Chains A and B, each alone.
Chain A
Amino acid sequence: MSVYDFSAKTNSGEEKSLRDYAGKVLVIVNTASKCGFTPQYKELQELYDKYQDKGLEILGFPCNQFGAQEPGTNSEVQQFCRRNYGVSFQIFEKGDVRGETAQPLFKYLTAEKGFKGFDKEHELSAILMDALKKHYPEYLEDEGIKWNFTKFLIDREGNVVERYEPTTSPSAMSAAIEKLL
């Protein structure tokens, strides 16, 4: 079994098999479904700009299971949305990524790589932990996705190589990505 056994609907309604990405290094990430262009989207786009030509693809899966305000951010509210969240990599249809209703791809990804804790060094770890304990304590009980922008690194053969929690910035994945390219 590999990620290529799964398919998902893109945000323009097209059913896409992940087998179409065979041979590429993939970063699969669950994204916030709020339409503001958060810093995390910006960093993912920067990663894409850097490595797309060398064979990286990024697949974004919007989800609104983590509904509370992004912890650690201020509440600057833009009253408009960007198409495709302002990024040029593939965004898929909004869906669930954790719990009973998680889409099959994410059940597979989290079974392959469980939760090993947030990066203790990261300034947001404590804030994120607090937010979870307060709003979604049940999310802490299993191996599932804990918050927006959990990232999975997939090699060119569809194997799940690593899981990175939201506290790991996309740029911190560069070395690992370069090893696979």
Chain B
Amino acid sequence: MVKVYSINNCPWCDKVKKYLKSRQVDYVECNIEESEAFLAECQALTNDEAVPVVTVDGKEYVLGFDNGKLDALLGL
């Protein structure tokens, strides 16, 4: 399951979500401002609190809006 870690008012998060939708990739949004649990997950994965973070396996991830890296991560 593709996870997208995000915060509110985040133009880069919006761009990533829009891109995933356009490529018909289903994802679960994990807002790290609204959930302590998601915040902890994101910190454990990336050692940081920057978003958007996209991950499939919870190990490899892409930080930020980068089509090329997203395509590579998701095999698009």
Contacts and interface: CB of A to CB of B under 8 A. Distances in A.
A94 B50 CA distance: 19
Contact of A78 (B13, B49, B64): B64
Majority secondary structure of chain A interface residues (helix, strand, loop or mixed):
loop
Interface in B34-65: 34, 39, 49-52, 63-65
B11 to A, nearest CB: 7
A79 interface: yes
A81 B10 contact: yes
Interface string A79-90: 111111010000
Contacts of B50: 80-83
Given A11-B33, A12-B33, A86-B49, A80 B11 contact: no
B25 to A, nearest CB: 18
B12 to A, nearest CB: 5
A100 B66 CA distance: 39
A35 B11 contact: yes
B24 interface: no
Interface string B3-25: 00001111111000000000000
Contacts of A82: 49-51
Interface size class of A (residues with CB under 8 A): 10 to 19
B64 A79 contact: yes
Q: Which of A12, A79, A84 has the most CB of B within 10 A?
A: A79
A83 B8 CA distance: 9
A130 B11 CA distance: 28
B38 to A, nearest CB: 10
